[in-house]
Amino acid sequence: MNEKLTEELNLQMNREFFSSYLYYAMNTYFKEITLDGFAKYMKKQAKEELKHAQGIHDYLIDRNAKINYSRIEAPDINWLNPLDVFEYAYKHEKFITGHLHQLHKMAEEKNDLACQIFLNGYIVEQVEEEAKFYKMIERIKTNAECNCNLNNLNIELM
Ligand SMILES: [Fe+2]
Ligand SMILES: [Fe+2]
């Protein structure tokens, strides 16, 4: 596989590991403020991100490409409230989507059809990933507007 494409896929694997790390940190945040439903929700996301990272890892192995582990950044965890957490997650997913689009473009330029098809799965899944967090933001806002306790939504997720 093309060297630059291999390098970029390795970086994407790192971003997926970081996403997992970030959502585990969000799991911690919700645990600490005893919103266990939200905590569970974030743990599920964290596990999914690990699968994304593993998927890229296995793809690189199948392509006989070199795996390159790089440092995983510590997430910035100074969230103000639950809405802030979900807005952060939504922004992060958009950042990931952007990188996947760039990767796809690169695979196209390198005439790597298999890699393009592999990335299609990730790109389509991002639509769901973004929608998931966007919906949560809207639901939290609606709960706040009607003065409902955030706990109702939290319990629903448990
Ligand atoms: Fe992901
Ligand atoms: Fe994601």
Residue-range domains of the chain with CATH: 3-157 (1.20.1260.10)
CA-angle at 124, arms to 108 and 53, nearest 5° = 80
pLDDT for 82 equals 93
By the CB criterion, residues less than 5 angstroms from ion ligand 1 are 16, 49, 52
Which ligand ends up closest to the CA of 17? 1
Res 152: pLDDT: 79
At residue 28, the pLDDT reads: 98
Distance 143 CA to ligand 1 centre (A): 28
Q: For residue 147, report the distance from its CA to the centre of ligand 2, in Å.
A: 30
d(CA 95, CA 73): 15
Q: What is the pTM of this model?
A: 0.95
- Residue 88 CB neighbour total at 10 angstroms: 19
Mean pLDDT by 10 residues, the chain (158 residues): 98 98 98 96 98 98 97 96 96 98 98 98 98 95 75 83
pLDDT of residue 69: 97
Residue of 120, 117, 104, 107 whose CA lies nearest to 2: 107
Per the CB < 8 A criterion, the answer to whether 15 and 69 are in contact is: no
- Ligand in nearest proximity to the CA of 54: 1
pLDDT at residue 151, rounded to an integer: 80
